[in-house]
A and B are shown apart, each in its own frame.
Chain A
Amino acid sequence: MSTATARRLRKPLVSALALAGVGVLVLAGCSGGGDSGGGSGENPTTFEFLKNAENTTTEPILQALADDTCSAEEEAAPLEINSIPQADLDAQVQLLATQDGLPPMFSAGGNPAEGAKLWEAGYLVDFDKALTELGVRDKVSDGAVSTIEKLYGGAFNFLPYQYNIEGIFYNKAIFEENGWAVPETWDDLLTVAGEAKAAGLTAFAASGEQGWPLTRLVSGYIFRSLGPDAMQAVADGDAKLTDPEYVAAAQQIADLGAAGYFGDNVASLDYDAASNEFLTGKAAMIYMGSWLLGNINSDANQIGADNVGFMPFPAVDGGAGSIDEYPSNVGLPATFNAKTYAADNNVGAWLKCITENYGNEALKQGQITGFVADDTSIELPAISQTIKDTIDTSTDSVLWFEALFNAKASSISSTNAALLVTGQMTPEEFMTAVQTALDEG
C-alpha cells in the first residue's frame, strides 16, 4: 500500500524534473546572445569603428590620432576597428541598425541610395547640428559638404574622410619616352592609347572584377558629351539610359575593350592587380581617383611618385560638358550612430577631436580629405600638391555612373561592366539591363 502511493507520487515528480532538466539543457543551447556593440543611450567605453576591408586609408590616420593628438579620448574610450568585405557592408549595417546594434562609428553609403535610407530612418547623426554644437563646423570644406548633400538625401549626415576627384593618372616617363603630349580631347586620348598598345603596354589599367573603374569611363564620356546634369536627368526620369546618346557612350567604352586597350583578361583583374599594373610601369594610364595617392606615395610605387602625372578626363568634341568638371566623390564615407552619440559623452569627444585634427594628420600622410587642412608647414609630394590645387580651384563637380542608382541597378551595372568591354554584352543590352533595374525602383 505505502509503496504504491509513494510510486504514484514519484512518477509525476520524476516527469516534472525530467521536463525541467531537458528544458534547461535545450534552452542553454539557445542562450548566449551577448550584448550588442554600442549599446544605446549610455556612454560607450569603446570607440568601435566598423569599416569596409577595402578601405586602407582611414585606419592609419585614426591610429595616428589615437596615439598622439587624441590620446585623451583614446584613454576614455579606446579605438577599436573592425572590417568586413565591402560587398556585405550595406546588408550588415541594415541588419545591425534594425537590431539596435550599430557601433558608434561605421562606414556606410557605398550605395548612396542605401545611405539615404539610413538617414530617413533616423539612424544617423546630423553633423550640421552636431558640429556647430561642438564649435568645429568650419573644419569641414564646403565642397565636400555639398557633394554629401547631393548624394545622401539632402543632409550633411556623413563625414568626408575622403574627398576625391577623379581623372587619369599617367606614367610621365613613358609619355616622354614616346613623345606623347597630354591629351585634352577624346580623339587624342584614343591616339595615345593606340600607340601605347603598339608599344606593348596596357593602355588603360582597369579592374573588370570590380566593374566600377569601367563604368566610370562610361559616365565620364556621358558627362563630357551631354553635360553635367546628364545622370541627374536619368535619375529624375527625364532621360533614359537606352536613349541613343547614352548608348553611344557605352559603345565608345566597348570599343576600347574591343581594341584591346585594357589588356587581356581585364574581366578577372581585381583592384589591387590593376593598380599594381600601373605602379609597376606595365600600363601607361589608369582612370582612378585621388585616393590612389596613398599608394602612389608609398613604397609599393615602383615607378616613383615624381613620375606620376594627373590629367582630367578629356573633352569630347562638340560635347556639352567641359574638361573642368571633375567627377568627385567622398569615397565610402563613415558616419556616427545617432543612438550612441551625445555632445558630452566619449563619442562626442572623439568627433570633436577627429574633426579638428583629421585634415592635418591626413595631409601629413599625403592624403587629401574633406576636412580642412590648415597646417601650412606640411610639405606635400608634387602629385598630391597638384591634386590639392585642382580641388581648391575646381568650379563644378559631377558625380559618377552608379551615384544615383538603387542597389539593384548599381549591382547590375558593376557586375556586367566586364561583359561590356569583353564584347559578351552589347552596349544596348548593357544599358537596357541597367535601365530595367532602375525602372523597377
Chain B
Amino acid sequence: MKSVLGDRKAITLLLTPALLVYTLIILVPVAWSFGLTFFSGSALEGFEFVGLQNFQRLFTDPYVWDALWFTVKYAILVTLFQVVLGYGLALLYNFVLRRSSVLVRTLVFFPVVLPTVAIALLYQKLFQSAPVDGLVNELLVNVGLSSVDWLGSGTTAFVVIVIMDVWRSVGFYGVLVFSGLLDIPDEIIESARIDGAKSFKLLRHIILPMSLPILFASFIFSINGTIKVFDSVFALTGGGPGNSTTPLTLYMYRTAFQFSDYGYGSTIALLLTVMCLVVTLVIFRSSRRDLSV
C-alpha cells in the first residue's frame, strides 16, 4: 500500500483522470466564458469579435447596477439575519434547552431540507393578494389594516424574499454554531460563573470570543451562498415586477439565454466572479489577522 501511495508517479497516475475531468468540466468552461466576453452573439447566429465593447456596456448599463445593488443588499441583510438569529438559536439550544433541544433543533432544521422551489410556492400562497387574500393578508385585514400586494412592488417583494430565505436557512446556522459552542469547555464557563459573571458578561467575554472561529465560518458560508442566489428569487417573483428583484445571477441568465446575448452574459458572469473573489480575499485576509492574534 505504502509503496503505491508513497510513490509520486503512482499518485500522479491515479490523480490524472479525475484532474482531467475537473479541468475539462470546470476550468475549460470558465476560460471559455472569459473568452466569450470579447465576442457578441449567440449559438444560433454565430459570434463576432467586439473587443472591449461588452465591458464598456457593463459600466453604462443601469440594469447591471440595479442588479448589483440588489445582490449586495440581499447578501448583507440575509447573512446578518441568518447568522445572528442562528447564533441566538444556538445559544438557546446550548444554555437554555440543553437535553431537550433535540426536538426543537430538528423542527427548526426541517425547512433546510425542503426544495427551494417548493418553499417559494408556499410563500407565494402565504403572501397572496389576488385573486383571494393569503394567510398574511387575512391576518392584516383581521387586525384592521388593509391587505398589501406583497409581490406587486419591489420593496415589499424584497421583504418577502428575505423572510423566506432566513426562515429556510436559520435552522442550518443554528445547528452549525451549536456545534461550535459545544467545543467551549464547561470548566471555563463554570469558573467564570463562580467568579460572578452574569449571563451577559459571560456571553461578551467568554462565549463570543471562543465561538469566533465558527461564527467566522458561518459568515463565509452565508455570504458565499447569498451572493449567488438564484432559485428562490426566480421561483418566487421571477425577477419581480419589472426588474426590481433581479439579482446579478438572474440578469446574467436572462441576458445569455432569453435575450440570446452570450457575450454580454459572460461579461456579467465575470463581474459576479470578481465580486466573489473580492469577498473571499477580504475574508481570508481578515481571518489571517484573526489567527495571528
Chain A residues with CB under 8 Å of chain B are 11, 14-16, 18-19, 22-23, 26-27, 30, 87, 90-91, 94-95, 97-98, 114, 117-118, 121, 208, 263-269, 273, 276-277, 406-408, 411-412, 415-416, 418-419, 422, 424-425
Given A26-B21, A422-B153, A415–B241 Cβ distance below 8 Å? yes
Report whether B260 and A407 are in contact in the complex, using a CB–CB cutoff of 8 Å.
yes
Report whether A411 and B44 are in contact in the complex, using a CB–CB cutoff of 8 Å.
no
Report whether B152 and A208 are in contact in the complex, using a CB–CB cutoff of 8 Å.
yes
Whether B142 is near chain A, meaning CB under 8 Å from some CB there, is no
Q: How far is the CB of A55 from chain B (nearest CB, A)?
A: 19
Q: How far is the CB of A205 from chain B (nearest CB, A)?
A: 10
Q: How far is the CB of B208 from chain A (nearest CB, A)?
A: 43
Q: Which 7 A-B pairs have the closest CB atoms?
A: A267-B152, A265-B130, A91-B257, A23-B17, A98-B43, A408-B259, A269-B130
Chain B residues with CB under 8 Å of chain A are 3-4, 7, 9-10, 13-14, 16-18, 21, 25, 42-45, 128-131, 147, 149-154, 238-239, 241-243, 254-255, 257-261
Which of A87, A98, A265, A408 is close to B44, meaning CB atoms less than 8 Å apart? Answer: A98
Which of A19, A26, A90 is close to B13, meaning CB atoms less than 8 Å apart? Answer: A19
Q: How far is the CA of A30 from the CA of B258 in the complex (A)?
A: 28
Report whether B260 and A94 are in contact in the complex, using a CB–CB cutoff of 8 Å.
yes
Q: 30 A-B contacts, Cβ less than 8 Å apart? A: A15-B9, A15-B14, A18-B13, A19-B14, A19-B16, A22-B14, A22-B18, A23-B16, A26-B17, A27-B17, A27-B21, A30-B21, A30-B25, A87-B258, A91-B257, A91-B258, A94-B44, A94-B260, A117-B45, A118-B44, A265-B129, A265-B147, A267-B149, A268-B130, A268-B151, A277-B131, A406-B259, A407-B258, A422-B241, A425-B242
B25: A residues at CB distance < 8 A: 30
Report whether B4 and A18 are in contact in the complex, using a CB–CB cutoff of 8 Å.
yes
Q: How far is the CA of A11 from the CA of B149 in the complex (A)?
A: 72
B154: A residues at CB distance < 8 A: 424
Q: How far is the CA of A215 from the CA of B104 in the complex (A)?
A: 50
Q: How far is the CA of A27 from the CA of B17 in the complex (A)?
A: 8
Q: How far is the CA of A55 from the CA of B95 in the complex (A)?
A: 57
B18: A residues at CB distance < 8 A: 22, 26
Q: How far is the CB of B148 from chain A (nearest CB, A)?
A: 9
B45: A residues at CB distance < 8 A: 117, 121
Given A98-B44, A424-B153, A273–B130 Cβ distance below 8 Å? yes
Report whether B243 and A415 are in contact in the complex, using a CB–CB cutoff of 8 Å.
yes
Report whether B4 and A22 are in contact in the complex, using a CB–CB cutoff of 8 Å.
no
Interface centre among A11, A16, A265, A424, by most B CB within 10 Å?
Answer: A265
Given A23-B17, A26-B18, A422-B153, A90–B258 Cβ distance below 8 Å? yes
A118: B residues at CB distance < 8 A: 44
A266: B residues at CB distance < 8 A: 130
Given A15-B4, A15-B9, A264–B259 Cβ distance below 8 Å? no
The A contact surface, by secondary structure, is: helix
Which of A19, A407, A419 is close to B241, meaning CB atoms less than 8 Å apart? Answer: A419
Q: How far is the CB of A145 from chain B (nearest CB, A)?
A: 25
Q: How far is the CB of B162 from chain A (nearest CB, A)?
A: 18
Report whether A411 and B42 are in contact in the complex, using a CB–CB cutoff of 8 Å.
no
- Chain A residue at minimal CB-CB distance from B239: A415
A267: B residues at CB distance < 8 A: 149, 151-153, 241
A95: B residues at CB distance < 8 A: 43
Given A265-B129, A265-B130, A268-B151, A11–B259 Cβ distance below 8 Å? no
- Chain A residue at minimal CB-CB distance from B261: A408
B42: A residues at CB distance < 8 A: 94
Q: How far is the CA of A269 from the CA of B255 in the complex (A)?
A: 26
B130: A residues at CB distance < 8 A: 263-266, 268-269, 273
- Chain A residue at minimal CB-CB distance from B3: A11
Q: How far is the CA of A263 from the CA of B9 in the complex (A)?
A: 74
Given A268-B151, A407-B259, A276–B131 Cβ distance below 8 Å? yes
Besides A90-B258, A94-B42, 9 other CB < 8 A contacts?
A: A30-B21, A97-B44, A117-B44, A264-B149, A268-B130, A411-B258, A416-B241, A418-B241, A422-B152
Q: How far is the CA of A90 from the CA of B3 in the complex (A)?
A: 57
Q: How far is the CB of B185 from chain A (nearest CB, A)?
A: 44
Report whether B44 and A416 are in contact in the complex, using a CB–CB cutoff of 8 Å.
no
Q: How far is the CA of A411 from the CA of B242 in the complex (A)?
A: 9
Which of B17, B128, B243 is close to A268, meaning CB atoms less than 8 Å apart? Answer: B128
Q: How far is the CA of A26 from the CA of B23 in the complex (A)?
A: 13
Report whether A14 and B4 are in contact in the complex, using a CB–CB cutoff of 8 Å.
yes
Given A94-B260, A264-B129, A425-B242, A18–B14 Cβ distance below 8 Å? yes
A23: B residues at CB distance < 8 A: 16-17
Report whether A268 and B152 are in contact in the complex, using a CB–CB cutoff of 8 Å.
yes
B241: A residues at CB distance < 8 A: 267, 415-416, 418-419, 422, 424
Q: How far is the CA of A266 from the CA of B151 in the complex (A)?
A: 11
Interface centre among B3, B4, B10, B259, by most A CB within 10 Å?
Answer: B259
Q: How far is the CB of A207 from chain B (nearest CB, A)?
A: 10
A268: B residues at CB distance < 8 A: 128-130, 149-152
Interface centre among B14, B152, B254, by most A CB within 10 Å?
Answer: B152
Q: How far is the CA of A114 from the CA of B42 in the complex (A)?
A: 11
Q: How far is the CB of B141 from chain A (nearest CB, A)?
A: 12
Q: How far is the CB of B262 from chain A (nearest CB, A)?
A: 10
- Chain A residue at minimal CB-CB distance from B61: A440
Q: How far is the CB of A437 from chain B (nearest CB, A)?
A: 9
Report whether B260 and A114 are in contact in the complex, using a CB–CB cutoff of 8 Å.
yes
A98: B residues at CB distance < 8 A: 43-44
Q: How far is the CB of A78 from chain B (nearest CB, A)?
A: 30
B259: A residues at CB distance < 8 A: 406-408, 411
Q: How far is the CB of B75 from chain A (nearest CB, A)?
A: 23
Report whether B242 and A416 are in contact in the complex, using a CB–CB cutoff of 8 Å.
yes
- Chain A residue at minimal CB-CB distance from B257: A91
- Chain B residue at minimal CB-CB distance from A266: B130
B7: A residues at CB distance < 8 A: 11, 15
